[in-house]
Amino acid sequence: MSTERGTPTLREAWRSGAARLRQAGVEEADADAELLLLYLLGIGKTEWLRDMREPFPHHHLARWESLLAKREKGVPVQYVIGDQHFYGRAFEVTEAVLIPRPETELLAEAVLRLGDELFGGPGEGGPVVLDVGTGSGALSVTLAAERPEWRVIASDLSKDALAVAKRNAANLGVGDKVTFAQGDLLTPFLAGAGGDYPAIDILVSNPPYIPSADIEELQREVRDHEPRLALDGGEDGLNPYRAMAGQLSGLERLPRVVAWEVGAGQAEDVAGLLRSAAKWDDVYFVKDYAGIDRHVIAIRK
């Protein structure tokens, strides 16, 4: 219902906003309109459920229209509100970085488990971990926050992405626990490259893996707004894996763990690249929530 003076309630504003988004082709119109409204009002789900029959604040109307307009044009809701949750933490995201996906949390879990198994549990020291293509810092910051005794290095080719990752590390309390490096894949860490980096124990990466020809077929939110540099994996999507597999022999020593996120249907090919590059005790896959082989893990026990 509306208030006596005709001012819409918060619920009515949400429903009309969702209708606009739905008309614009937004798939998760109801959920996105709710996220935008909560962001606008600075409230949580509990307050929203309690206050949804309260009048919509008139002084927020112009900004509400602006938020809806951005989402109508295809800007992902995470970029509109400026953050995305990953492993229980809110990460700043801009169009300089990919939006962290839930399936990548499974990669973080796998690395945390392997790190504890191979290098001792929390409080017992730990490995040197390199996150290549860190983007927002979702993986590197999460690993540093979950295991403060680990030494974490985060690299990216993009200066703008590194700036976002550094802010996330600082905002989430691990600014002094993550070392940042700019460069292409493993190049800064190769023996003789001149970087003052320790030998890598765990190499983790969620690199670009979309085949170039498939980019234009992606959802408009991804195609038009997420950084092409972080999406395009070359003709077959495997270029970053080929490059990193070829660079492994140039490191000071072979990591004991390599853990890479891959695209659908790429796991066997990426595993083959790793097996050709080095001798491993085991190479196995981790499935995502849809049952797809999403992560390739190679270990030396």
Q: From the DSSP assignment, how many helices (H) and strands (E) are in the chain? A: 11, 9
Query: Which residue in 188, 180, 185 sits closest to 159, CA to CA?
Result: 180
Beta strands in 36-164 (DSSP E): 83-86, 89-92, 128-132, 151-156
Other CB atoms within 10 A of residue 84 CB: 21
Query: Which residue in 178, 197, 188, 74 sits closest to 136, CA to CA?
Result: 178
- Residue pair 279/247 in contact by the 8 Å Cβ criterion: no
- Residue pair 21/13 in contact by the 8 Å Cβ criterion: no
Known binding-site residues equal 133-137, 156, 206-209
Known binding-site residues for S-adenosyl-L-methionine equal 133-137, 156, 206
Helix axes 159-171, 138-146, angle to 10 degrees: 30
Known binding-site residues for substrate equal 206-209
